[in-house]
Amino acid sequence: MDPQQPLTILSARRATEIPQFIQRATALPPAPTSNSTATSPGSFTSSPHPGPPTPSPSPSPGSKAAVGDYIWTNGSLPCVHLQAQIQIRILYPTQGGREAWGISVLNPNKTTPQRGCEGAHPHLLLSFPYGQLSFGFKQEPLQGTVYLNYVAVEYNVSFPQATQWTFSVQNSSLRELQAPLGQSFSCRNASIILSPAFHLDLLFLKLQAARLPPTGAFGPSFSCPSDQSILLPLIIGLIALGLLTLVLVIFCISRRRAPAYQPL
């Protein structure tokens, strides 16, 4: 990213219309307090809200219908390209004095990228109804890598039986989604723990945060470790199957070969 270039507002290509988000809850053992707080590197706060937003139904988490496509620019050039289904998981207090996990899937059609890539370490914003999400990336030219080092989320949301509706978290000590400069980072499910009570999931993820071409197209793909662990056994299995097929073909050819002489 070139800090000398002027800032312009970015563009976003969005998926087809879907409802805003999904909300689900899973009960956990009783908690001693109703508020959750985590210390550095991730800090999480929750507080009462006078009028919680009204939830609307949405597809199940993991549905590709909720994958959004977002581009930030620096001047006239794209600097960050993010493609993912963004899922927020929050551990919240319930009316019965217990705790539960709530899940929200952001609607790409109502999620807008803002700000740009000015400065050495810019914070890029995604705004959506009742909240916003901020990303920060850091380049290491000597190592030839770029990675996500900062995430902040502010969110007003009404989960089932919740006693609080305003949540916020910030973590500036991350080292996630690392990829070589000029390459894109891809992962089926990249889960980022911002605090013990606040997780950010990026499903069907493709991300490039440096050295994008003028078209904004992704560069060569660098897969996350979890995807690599799935592909390795598959590759080994395919190689073994190919060798077995070759042995069987050679065996069949040798059996069908005519004898070199005729018996008397």
**pLDDT value, residue 52:** 55
pLDDT in tens, 112-139: 999 888 766 778 999 999 999 999 999 9
Average model confidence (pLDDT) for the chain?
76
Question: Which of 89-93, 165-169, 174-178, 250-254 shows the lowest mean pLDDT across its residues?
Answer: 250-254
The pLDDT assigned to 238 comes to 60
Q: Shortest CA distance to 199 belongs to which of 138, 151, 149, 146?
A: 151
Q: Are 70 and 83 in contact (CB under 8 A)?
A: yes
Is pLDDT larger for residue 153 or for residue 45? 153
CB 210 within 8 A of CB 175: no
Residue 229 pLDDT exceeds 60: no
Contacts of 55 (CB under 8 A, 6+ apart): 20, 21, 23, 157, 158
Q: Class of the 11-222 domain?
A: mainly beta
Mean pLDDT of 137-151: 93
Higher pLDDT, 22 or 216: 216
- Residue 253 pLDDT grade (very low, low, confident, very high; cuts 50, 70, 90): confident
Band of residue 192 on the pLDDT scale cut at 50, 70, 90: very high
